[in-house]
Amino acid sequence: MSDEVVENDLIHCIYCNAGTVRFSEADMVSLLEKAREANSALGVTGMLLYEEGSFFQVLEGPAESVDALYEKIFRDKRHRRITKIIRESIEARNFSEWTMGYAGVTRQDLKEIEGLNDFFYTKKCFTELDPGRAKKLLEAFKDGNWRASLR
Ligand SMILES: Cc1cc2nc3c(=O)[nH]c(=O)nc-3n(C[C@H](O)[C@H](O)[C@H](O)COP(=O)(O)O)c2cc1C
């Protein structure tokens, strides 16, 4: 018997935004501190990537909590032009040990992820990511070496 906890009604919601507000190191630390505390209370886990003013975030947890949190983030004045890329049911969490894993990444890093280099050569960071490419990015951080860069 596996001792894995089976959770019902689990979803993930993945969004990106088009570079808006610049976050200093201190801004990011403060954002993560608050987000991790709130997520822990809500049972939300996930990861957040940041590159030059653009974010890519995965929120996972009970559907109701994730949807409510996404609405809050969507209305947050610190970023605009948010696009929800994926919202779907999942069998299990990919980032269960992270109330919000974070990595600051560079364009160069992103080009090194298989299946994404064409995109990051020509596009603005994270914007216009389609569900297929968002999944590639998710897979890289879920299973690959990139996971080790989450803090
Ligand atoms: C890029 C980004 C990611 C965020 N991620 C989270 C998060 O994972 N959890 C969270 O509670 N708030 C997060 N926030 C903050 C929310 O937008 C919002 O400010 C926060 O939930 C405060 O809500 P309150 O009005 O209940 O205090 C994020 C904000 C930004 C800009």
Q: From 17, 34, 51, give the residue whose CB has the most ligand 1 atoms within 8 Å, as the site to mutate.
A: 34
Tell which atom from ligand 1 comes closest to the C-alpha of 76. Answer: 17
Asked if the model's pLDDT at residue 7 lies above 80, the reply is yes
Give the count of alpha carbons within 13 A of 79, CB side only: 24
Q: Which residues line ligand 1 (CB under 6 A)?
A: 31, 35, 38-39, 48, 55, 57, 69, 72-73, 76, 78-79, 100
User: Domain 10-104 - what CATH class?
Assistant: alpha beta
Q: What is the pLDDT of residue 86?
A: 97
How remote is the CA of residue 121 from the centroid of ligand 1, in Å? 30
The string of pLDDT tens digits covering residues 114-138 is 889 888 888 778 888 999 999 999 9
pLDDT at position 125 is 82
Identify which of 27, 16, 144, 35 has the alpha carbon closest to the alpha carbon of residue 84: 16
Q: Which residues contact 71 (CB under 8 A, 6 or more apart)?
A: none
Domain residue ranges of the chain, discontinuous segments joined by + = 10-104
* pLDDT (tens digit per residue) in 90-103: 999 999 999 999 99
User: Which positions ≥6 away from 86 have C-beta within 8 Å?
Assistant: 12, 13, 14, 131, 134, 135
pLDDT over 60 at 28, yes or no: yes
| Spatial contact of 5 and 83, defined as CB atoms under 8 Å apart | no
DSSP classification of residue 5: P
